[in-house]
Chain A
Amino acid sequence: MELTVTKHATCTFCGCVCDDIELHSDGTRVVETKAACILGKSWFLNHDVVRHYPDALVDGQEATLGEAIEAAANYLYEADLPLVYGLSNTTCEAQRQAVTLAEMTGGIIDSHTSL
Chain B
Amino acid sequence: MGGKPSCTLGEIRNRADFLIYWGGNPAECHPRHFTKYSLMPKGKFTPNGRKDRTMVLVDIRETASAKAADIFLQIRPGKDFEALTALRSIVKGKRVEESAVVETGLTMEQLNDLATRMKKAKFGVIFFGMGLSMTRGKHMNSAAAMTLAAELNAFTKFVAMPMRGHGNVTGADVVVRYHTGYPFGVNLSRGYPRFNPGEFSTVDVLVRGDNDATIIIGADPGATMPQPAIDHLASTNTIVLDPKVTHTSRLSKVHITTAATGISAPGTAYRMDEIPMTLRPPLKSPYPTDEEVLRRISEAVARKAAWYPTPEALMAAV
Stretch at the interface among B51-59, B73-81, B88-96, B247-255: B247-255
Residue numbers in A under 8 Å from B169 (CB-CB) = 15, 87-88, 111-113
Give the total of A residues in contact with B, Cβ under 8 Å.
87
Contact assessment for B256 and A72 in the assembled complex, using a CB-CB cutoff below 8 Å: yes
Other-chain residue from A12, A86, A113 in contact with B173 (beta carbon distance below 8 A): A113
Within 8 A of B (CB), among A27-62: 27-30, 37-40, 43-44, 47-49, 51-60
Residue numbers in A under 8 Å from B261 (CB-CB) = 12, 89-91
Contact assessment for B134 and A55 in the assembled complex, using a CB-CB cutoff below 8 Å: no
Tell me the complex Cα distance, A83–B183, Å.
15
Q: Given A12-B168, A79-B237, do A27 and B185 touch, yes or no (CB 8 Å)?
A: no
Contact assessment for B276 and A25 in the assembled complex, using a CB-CB cutoff below 8 Å: no
Q: Is B245 an interface residue (CB 8 A)?
A: yes
Contact assessment for A83 and B214 in the assembled complex, using a CB-CB cutoff below 8 Å: yes
Q: Is B100 an interface residue (CB 8 A)?
A: no
Q: State the Cβ distance, A30 to closest chain B Cβ, in Å.
A: 6
Within 8 A of A (CB), among B163-213: 163-176, 179-180, 183-191, 197, 200-203, 205-206, 210-213
Residue numbers in B under 8 Å from A16 (CB-CB) = 30, 32-33, 36-37, 271-272
Task: Sort chain B's interface into a size bin.
Answer: 35 or more
Other-chain residue from A29, A88, A109 in contact with B219 (beta carbon distance below 8 A): A88
Q: Chain B interface (Cβ within 8 Å of chain A)? A: 29-33, 36-37, 134, 163-176, 179-180, 183-191, 197, 200-203, 205-206, 210-219, 221, 224, 237, 239, 241, 243-245, 249-250, 253-257, 260-272, 276-291, 293-298, 300-302, 304, 307-308
- Other than the given A92-B267, A92-B268, A94-B291, 17 more pairs (CB < 8 A) read A11-B167, A12-B262, A47-B263, A49-B284, A55-B256, A55-B287, A68-B256, A69-B293, A72-B215, A77-B301, A84-B215, A90-B218, A93-B267, A97-B295, A100-B298, A104-B301, A108-B185
